[in-house]
Structure 1
Amino acid sequence: MSGLLGFCRQGFEPELAAELTERAAYAGIAGYARAQRNDGYVVFVSDQGDALDRALPWRELVFARQKLKVIAELRALDPRDRIAPMLAALEGQRFGDLWVEHPDSDAAKPLAGLARSFGNALRPALRRAGLLSAQEDQRLPRLHVVFVQGDHAFLASTRPHDSSPWPLGIPRLKLLPDAPSRSALKLEEAFLALLDAEERARLLKPGMTAADLGAAPGGWTWVLTRQHLRVTSVDNGPLRQHVLDTGLVEHLRADGFHWKPAQPLDWMVCDMVEQPRRVAERMGTWFREGWCRHAIFNLKLPMKKRWDETRLCLDLFAEQASRPLTVRARQLYHDREEITVFATPRH
C-alpha cells in the first residue's frame, strides 16, 4: 500500500480523517481514509503517495501530530522474526535514522516496551543490510516503524524538515514548580511547534511588549516573562503574586474580550473560554486594527464537526483580519478539545 499515516490525539481520528480527505481532494489526489476512533492514528490510502506527501506539508496540518509516508503495512508478523519481512520490504532504500514508535492511545501504550527493545535489535540489522547510515544523516529520509499491535506494523518514512522533530509527535515538556497553571505548557509547546528556531530568535526578544487576554491565574503571562517580554495581563481575576513580582507585568482588571491597547504591541496571546467563532472574529479584529504584530490564541472546539468548525473559524479569522498573514494551527499535545493558532504578517 501507499499513502500517509498521521498520529493524532486519541478520539480525534474522525477530524484528522476529514482533514486529510478534504486537503487531498483540494490537491486533486484520489484516496480514502482508514480510521477507527481511539486508535490514535489515521491512514490515508492513495496510489499517489509521493504526490500526496508533497501536497500536504506537515506544518499545514491541524490535527496531525506527525505525518509519515507509508512504505508497507505488515500484518501477521511472526514474533520470532519480525525483522526479516521488514528488511525485505525495505530492500533498495536507505535511511538516515530510525524511530520505532506506537500511537499514543490506551490500546497501543503497552507496546512501548516492544518499541524500545525492537529498535535496539532492528538498528544493527538495518546497518548490516546497508539500509541505515552509520550515523544520523538529516539529508536522508528517516525510517519509522510503527507498531499498532504486536504482529501488525507500518513501515513509513519522512523527511526530517517536513515532520515533527519528536517521537510520536510529542514534545516532552516538564511543568516547572513555579508555573501558575498547567496551561503554561500549551504556550511553551506553541512556541516550539508553531515557530521555527529562526522565528523564535527573531520574534521573542527581551523588551518586546505583549498582552495576555484572560490571563488569570497567569500561566501564559509567566511563559512570556520567561522570554523577558513586558506583559499587560488583562483579566478580572487574580494573578499569582510571584508572576507580578517579576516586575515585567501590569495587571489590568478588565474584560479581555473587549479591552484594546493604547498603542500597538509586539504580541497578543489569548486562552479565553469562549465560542470559537467569536474568538476568531475578535482575534481578526486585533490584526485589522493593528493592535498587535504577532499572536497565539486557542479556539475551543465543539463536540461534533470539529474539522468543519476549524476551517470555518480560520476562514473567519482571515476574513476579519483583512491583511496577508501567515497562519499555522495545530491541536497540540497539551491541548484538549481545542486547537492553537499562530499568526504573523506574511513576508
Structure 2
Amino acid sequence: MRVVIALDSFKGSIGAAAACAALAQGWLAERPADEVLLRPMADGGEGTLDAVAAALPEARRMPVTVTGPAGRPVEASWLLLPDGTGVVELASTSGIELLAGELRPWDASTRGFGEAIAAALDGGARRLVLGIGSSASTDGGVGVLSALGLRFFGADGAPIPDGGRGLPEIVRTDAGSLRLPPSGGVTVLTDVRNPLLGPTGAAAVYGPQKGVRDVARAEAGLARVAEEAPQIDPSTPGAGAAGGTGFALLAWGARLVPGADEVAALVGLDASIAEASLVITGEGSFDPQSSAGKVPGFVREAAERAGIPAAIVAGRITGDADVSGFAAALSLSELAGSPAASLADPTRWLRAAGARLAAYRTQDE
C-alpha cells in the first residue's frame, strides 16, 4: 500500500511535521512493507513554514531577527524555495503564541511580519507566499506596511505608535518610501473569509480573542485604515484576516487565497494522492468548521476527487462534526482516555492512532 499522511498541526500540542512522523511510525510498526508519504499541511497559520520545509527539503531557511508583537526581538526565519519563492509566516513573527498568554490588545503589532517580508525581498525572493493565521494584533496591518516603508501620521505630525491604539488618529499617510511587491506577485494564505468591518469583521469576531474589550474603538481604527485605501473594498472576503492584515496586503497589491489550497500546491499533495491507497488527515479539533477552508475538509475533497478513501485523526472530534465522508475517524482523546492525557503526550497517541488505522486496514484486506 501507499499511504499519504497529510495532517495539520495539533495547535498548542504538536506541529504538523512531527504529527505526521508520529502517525507514520505507528502505521509502519503494524505494516512495515507499506510506502508512507508525509505531506504535512497548513492553512496559513502556525506551522505553515514547517509544513512546506518538511515537504521540500531543498528549500532553505533564512534566519531573521524581527520586532515581536510585544516590541521585543524575536528570532524567526523565512523560507526560500528553489524557484525563488519566499515563504513568510505571520505566526512566527507576529503571532499570538509569542505573547505567552500576555495579551496586548492595543499595542501588539504586525511590524515583525513586515520586517520578515522586507528581509525576503532583500534576500532575492521573486515571489512571496505569506501565511497570515494566528495573529496577536488588531492593527489593520499598519505594522506590516510601516515596516515596508509606508508612513502613518497623526494630527500632531508625528508617526502613530505601533498597534491598534493610534489607528483612529491617522490623518495622513506617505507612500514615498513604500517598497513594491516582487515581480512574481504576492499570494496571501488565509483560512478565514471575514470582511474588515462590521459584525463579522476583524474587531467584532477576533478582537475579544486578543483581549480587545472596546470593540467600537477597534472598529473605528480599522474603518480609518480603510479610508486610506479607498480602492480596496473592505467587505472583500478575508480582508479581516489577522486583525485586518488581509486588507493591508490587498492594498499592497496581494491576492488572498484559501491557505490549504496553496500549501497543497507547494507540497505536491494532488500528485502524492493520485497513486495512494489511503489518505490520512487531521488536526487538533475536528468540528463543523473543519469542512470549510480547514485542512481536513480540503484533504478529504482532494481524496474524493482522486477516488481514494480518507481517514481522519484529531485530538478531539466534537459531537456535531460531520465524519460521514471518512472511511475511519479516530480521536486521540478517546484513545488516551481523556483530552488531558492526549495533550500530555500527543506523540504517543498519534503513534497509537497510526497503529490502530493500520490494523483496521489489515482486517479489511
| Larger strand percent | 1
So what's the TM-score if we normalise by structure 2?
0.37
TM-score, normalised via structure 1 length:
0.38
**Computing the radius of gyration over CA atoms, which structure comes out larger, 1 or 2?**
1
The structure with more helix, counted as a fraction of residues: 2
More relative contact order, 1 or 2 (CA 8 Å, 6+ apart): 2
